[in-house]
Structure 1
Amino acid sequence: MVACVGAFPARPEHYSMSVSKAVHSLSDTTTTEPTTDSNFGTFDEEGNYTPREVVSNDLGMSFADAIDGTIVEVEDGELVHGTVVKIDKDEVLLDIGYKSEGVIPSRELSIRNDVDPSEVVSMGDQVEALVLTKEDKEGRLVLSKKRAQYERAWGDIEAKKEADEIVEGPVIEVVKGGLIVDIGLRGFLPASLVELRRVRDLQPYIGQTVQAKIIELDKNRNNVVLSRRAYLEETQKETRDSFLNNLKIGEVREGTVSSVVSFGAFVDLGGMDGLIHVSELSWKHVDHPGSVVAVGDPVKVQVLDVDFSRERISLSLKATQADPWQEFAETHEVGQLVYGRVTKLVQFGAFVQVGDGIEGLVHISEMSAHHVDSPEQVVTPGEELWVKIIDLDLQRRRISLSIKQAAEGGELAPEYSEHFEVDDEGNWAASEEVEAAWAEFESADAGDEAAAEGGDDAAPADEA
């Protein structure tokens, strides 16, 4: 470099005055030795002034070579470091000491898509970047922060996979089939591996920081597959074992329906999920579990079985509810008459519903006092009629009914006795109270039909 070692005299015309003063000054001193103070020039014995050296060449090379020596040399694929000197909406300029600033396009800033550069870097930030090209068609040095981060992250990810360690990062996207997690690169977390059970709504996970195990790693395909479920299973095994050990068969627990499937419903018991099989949802026949429970419903269930080896819990919802067959058996007995509705015809008779979830069979031999070739000769589905209980088997949950014996009369079941009475011929007929209710209903129904037939042209009754 060129080093300055002193200051120039004020003006050349002052040299003579300075010299004369200096000579006069020297004449007043006791020495005649030349001055050697490095801050000034020197005088010889005759008083001639020699200015001090203003500059010296300490470079050891040409000035051009010195300038070239300050410029960083880069190659494609090289990792470089620099300072953010400008942020635009679609790019960032990075000073890495090269002859020109490097350009980082916005798409090369982050593994996240469609980000604002100002959300990723700030002015003055020190940034590591990968050289994509020393000179593009516009002569620019093009860099990538994202790929530098990717290269750096791969080494860390591979080491953690080798050591069977977990990775951690925020969820940045919901994609088809799962989530994208920022672990320095884009890690794919399948929906089936997000929780211990499958999650249908993944949107709430956006922004959450999650821990996961690496289950697949392929740098050539840029493929990283994660499993949060594996992490949860590993960390919660002790908790699950304790939970299962504390469950007692037959005890009643409260929980929340976590999912509904075709074969039943899963219930979160506060530590693990248990399954209510469709057959244990209700005392009635269930076509689909969704007709009985919905996700989020609070339920009270009984523990039927605990499988420690498979970590499965079997539950029953109907076991916590009153058994309609038991209730029916407690309030009815053989010989009573009950009112029912024909639900289904079969070759050997007809099924009649006589209570909530309670169906009994009228054998073809009990349909009529006369010979019957087929049930269709006597009844049709949906028909309501009186039947007599001729057998009640609670253990096998079977009720045998008779139409022909009901026609001979008998004692009504308790729930009907206050609404029906025996007429003059000994038949059970609806009481006056029931008849009045039916009359009121039929009257209102007839009025509605008349209005419908009259349309807008029909006059109100008081105007007729």
Structure 2
Amino acid sequence: MAEDNNSINPMEQALDNFNQVQVGDVVEAEVLSIDDHQLVVGIDNSGVEGVVPARELSGSSKTDIHELAKVGDKLELLVMRRSNNDKEDGSFILSQRRIANRKKYEKMAQLQAEDATVTGQVTGTVKSGLLVDIDGLRGFVPASMISDHFVRDLKRFVGQELELKIIEVEAANNRFVLSHKEIAAAQKAEQEAKVFAELLPGDVLEAQVSRLTNFGAFIDLGGVDGLVHISQISHQHIAKPSDVLEPGQTVKVKVLDLDPERGRISLSIKATQPGPWEDAAAKIAPGDEVDGVVRRLTDFGAFIEVLPGVEGLLHVSQISWDRINKPADVLEVGQELHLKVLNLDVDQKRLGLSLKALIPDPHAKEETKEPEDDHYTLPEEERGFSLGDMVDADQFK
């Protein structure tokens, strides 16, 4: 005779129903009650109750649980684990949030298989990279995969949207790794091609200083950096670029050279500024008295800076009324002098100076007339003069 169903032990029936629910199952459940911290639900076709903590309903801890569910609602839930709480003995801990995440992971895995890219917003940083949000799913971009070059300041990416390539998707361990490196390289190549197509040597434009080094300044030309070598920053000598420039500063630059094959652009700041010699004629003239500083000494004279970037020659014959073998015998670098301008040729960048013209000739007799201003041809050397072109001292007397 068949056993009557009514004779089945209720405890055995409850245990059988309990064992029908397994960790990892996706189940339908009805909301039985709600408090501020959790939902109590009844799992359909099992007679088993479960608990859904508020944090497992929504990814946001600030959302009011009463706005997310009501008594009688039917929810699709993931069975996470059996409860360890004595007060909830026989029940399970369930999650709605992880159901949504599982579907998102599945979608990301499909996009990875298709070699598609996704767009994510950078929400924060850790020491080893960036945290990004992609449709509510948290991903990670290692620092080595942010760009095609080393990135020192990760915080500048916070709030930005980045196009990303999916590297690894592992829902079981909540592992979602992405990369911007390949995309950054492709974007850079595209920007370089555009910049090189639009620029020509001689072009003058305004741009911002992106970074400084000891040998020059890199200028952002719209995603591509051009280099202003330290020698092209100013007409005056500077010890290091940071003495006159800072990152973010807007400067006017002239394109000196383009090398598309090597991806290099040479720029100049000083080429956009008036040279010191252009203003020299307005500031000094033959016969003027000027102050200067000895910058260099040679066997035939001393080079004196009388204006920033403007040096003149004090020939050895114009230093003293007495005979001098070499300038270093009576002058030294850095010494300040008061001089007379003998002649000025702005086009040739030549300036003749005299020290003795401001000193009475101790050898002259009273009836001797004052000598007229000397006129002579200056020797060629760098900055307008040549070390190899020696001039007979007699023509300066």
Q: Structure 2-normalised TM-score?
A: 0.64
Aligned-partner SS, 1:241: helix
Mapping 1:25-44, distance limit 5 Å: none
Q: Which has the higher contact order (CA 8 A, sep 6+)?
A: 2
Structure number with bigger Rg: 1
1:142 to 72, 93, 108: 93
1:321 matched to 2:273: yes
Give 1:307 deviation, angstroms: 2.8
**Paired residue type of 1:321:** Q
For residues 260-314 of structure 1, give each alpha carbon's deviation from its aligned partner in whole angstroms, at most 9, with x where no partner exists. Answer: 4444334344564433333222222233333333344333322222332344433
Q: Which residue of 2 aligns with 1:302?
A: 254
Inter-partner Cα distance in structure 2 for 1:308 and 1:126: 63
Q: Which residue of 2 aligns with 1:210?
A: 162
2:120 to 146, 169, 174: 169
Q: Which residue of 1 aligns with 2:23?
A: 76
Q: Which residue of 2 aligns with 1:341?
A: 292
Q: Which residue of 1 aligns with 2:49?
A: 100
Q: Which residue of 1 aligns with 2:69?
A: 123
Give 1:163 deviation, angstroms: 3.3
Inter-partner Cα distance in structure 1 for 2:178 and 2:342: 63
Inter-partner Cα distance in structure 2 for 1:366 and 1:331: 22
Mapping 1:448-463, distance limit 5 Å: none
Inter-partner Cα distance in structure 2 for 1:354 and 1:253: 32
Where structure 2 has 5 or more consecutive residues not aligned to the other structure, the ranges are: 361-369, 374-397
Aligned-partner SS, 1:95: strand
The aligned length equals 346
Aligned-partner SS, 2:200: coil
- Paired residues of 1:166 and 1:231 also in contact (CA < 8 A): no
**Paired residue type of 1:325:** W
Aligned-partner SS, 2:21: coil
Inter-partner Cα distance in structure 1 for 2:78 and 2:190: 45
- Paired residues of 2:122 and 2:157 also in contact (CA < 8 A): no
Aligned-partner SS, 1:100: strand
For residues 135-186 of structure 1, give each alpha carbon's deviation from its aligned partner in whole angstroms, at most 9, with x where no partner exists. Answer: 2254463345666555554444444344332122232213336531023232
Q: Percent identity?
A: 28
Aligned-partner SS, 1:245: helix
Give 1:103 deviation, angstroms: 3.8
Where structure 1 has 5 or more consecutive residues not aligned to the other structure, the ranges are: 1-59, 410-424, 429-464
1:188 to 128, 141, 145: 141
CA 426–150 in structure 1, closer or farther in 2 if over 3 Å, else same: farther
2:202 to 247, 250, 262: 250
Aligned-partner SS, 1:210: strand
2:111 to 160, 168, 189: 160
Give 1:222 deviation, angstroms: 6.8
CA 192–202 in structure 1, closer or farther in 2 if over 3 Å, else same: farther
- Paired residues of 2:147 and 2:185 also in contact (CA < 8 A): no
Give 1:134 deviation, angstroms: 0.9
